[in-house]
Amino acid sequence: MINVTESESESISSHLKMTKKHFEEKYIEKSEGGMMIMNTIPCHFLNDNKCGVYENRFKECRDFPHLHKPNFNDRLFGTLIHYAICPIIFNVIEQLKIETDFFNQ
């Protein structure tokens, strides 16, 4: 799930040369509280494993795979979902197995 901010919505809609309103109608789902998320998984802008709006991508995409953020244990399941498709996550998990002597426990 990709959370979207107002400024990201403005930036990407401008990049796509569409109104913010049309962009949000087409790509965004809004909660009653006003929170916005992309309305599909995978993202509409991911084509051939490349981001179609890379220079204007969402902060959550820039921060992916979020390994630098605190509380890694709380996000472990979400991280493991991407294990087979994200080389960064794969390499980090494999290194953790070595460092924790995973196979000899």
Per-residue pLDDT tens over the stretch 46-77: 888 788 999 999 998 888 888 888 888 888 88
User: Which H helix or E strand runs over 29?
Assistant: strand 28-30
What average pLDDT does the segment 22-30 reach?
Answer: 96
More confidently predicted of 86 and 3: 3
11 pLDDT higher than 90:
yes
What average pLDDT does the segment 72-87 reach?
Answer: 82
Provide the token pair at 77: 């399941």
Provide the token pair at 80: 């493991």
Distance CA 48, CA 69 (A): 28
CB distance 58 to 2 below 8 Å: yes
7 pLDDT higher than 80:
yes
Distance CA 12, CA 83 (A): 28
24 pLDDT higher than 90:
yes
pLDDT, the chain, mean? 89
Three-state DSSP class for residue 3: strand
